[in-house]
Structure 1
Amino acid sequence: MTAPQAAPDAIYVQDVKVNGRAYAKSWLPESLLNRGGEVVVNVGTTANRQWATAEADLPVDHVPAAQTPIPNLPAACEPAGAACAQRLQYDVDGVATADAKAQGNLDGKGWSFPAEQLPAPGPYETYVIPGTRGTAGNFHSLRGQRTYLTPGRYQALDLLVTAVNGDQQIELTITYADGTTSTAPLKVTDWAAASPHFGEEAALTAGTRYNVNGTADGRKVSIWRVSVPTDPAREAVSFTSPPSPT
């Protein structure tokens, strides 16, 4: 990444080129960070209020001040028995197929789940499984953003989760329609651990991992089921977390 005009008073982005082409969004795709590329940022002494200001060019977790639809509000959850399955904003492709192992990268080191050993996309028990082929996202990373829910009075958030590069322990903040909040711990065992470390249930298990270099290592990896309590007397509308790299 270069900014040839950078100077103490030249700090405002005028335009950006990615691999030689004009780029109008205010964020860079994960594929660029994973596979590499050239980013040239043209900066100046005054703000360019025309660059990357269209709604489609804003980050998906940006909440407009005006009364317009919020980009990452989810579709209504899908009833599944006593539960309601929620589709989230999937931003990481952590699954690959045997014939396209380079398409997934869950841990930032090139490893991913094998699609052939995961449930088919669609309803699965009380969850909805996202697509597992191609390069579309199928994991929702916790980057400190607000994750919107279908508003409802829930006993708990039942989550399918995993962690990479070691166990992870964070605290979720649940926000309710009246503006109040509650907090609950979220403890997640590393995906390659032989067994859960925090009492999670192994929801999905695969007998190998794929790597972007075209190999598989035969290491068992898991997705865990956890339950995060909420207050059923209040209408939950979202949850947030501290930024977590894994």
Structure 2
Amino acid sequence: MRKSVLIGSFFLITTLLLAGQSFAQRGQFKALIFSKTQGFRHQSIPNAVKALKDMAKTRVFSVYATEDATVFNDEFLKDYDVIIMASTTGEILSDGQKEAFQRFVQNGKGVVGIHSATDTEYDWKWYTKLIGGQFMHHPAQQTARLNVVDRNHPATYHLNEKWLWTDEWYAFKNFNEEVHILLQLDETSYEPGSRDGKSMAMGEVHPMSWYHEYDGGRVFYTALGHVEAAYEDDDFLDHVYGGIWWAAMGYPIQ
């Protein structure tokens, strides 16, 4: 009898240890960092990948970083909760890979876009709606004022109503007006520049970060993150993590 109890206790402890080890390896959720480029390649991509890997350690989630598009298949993606498009550019996925990406989202998973994720797959209408818009142009890098128009999202809980930030300020076309805007650029606080004699400003509504639910999944995007120094800034990293956490976990926005 005593031997049976000891054996049972051993198996119970072993099971708990293995379960704990499995959680420690996987963490709260599993994120795929994808940073493939077929257009302009940002120098900040290595900084972004390193920062996200460091974030995974401190925030207790697991990551896998790659630029190999063949991972966009049902078998590989089924184990992931969120895909992070880290400054991707250009046409980076085949038709079959696009279909796997769509099924991933339709299965209730999350997508996060950082900076030039909007400079990606211009001819894929589904992706444009998903990510929220398409990069159009930008002026020289400079400091500007961001208005935090919605502080009720994990990506903006920590921010004040005004945020002074230095970056490459995107203007967008084909913007999905169904998204929920989090950050707006104050166009009176910087020089938007001109092209062909026309201002490159967007006007009163100039979104810089947003989120929405789309085709069964959850999507967060931030246009910030061009400069390498961004990935050492606590406010920016908390902004990104809040978006990742929401997209991966899907908890209701309060």
What's the TM-score once normalised by structure 1's chain length?
Answer: 0.27
Structure number with the bigger relative contact order (C-alpha 8 A, sep ≥ 6) is 2
In terms of fraction of residues, the more helix-rich structure is: 2
Query: 1 or 2, which has the higher strand percentage?
Result: 1
Normalised by the length of structure 2, the TM-score is 0.27
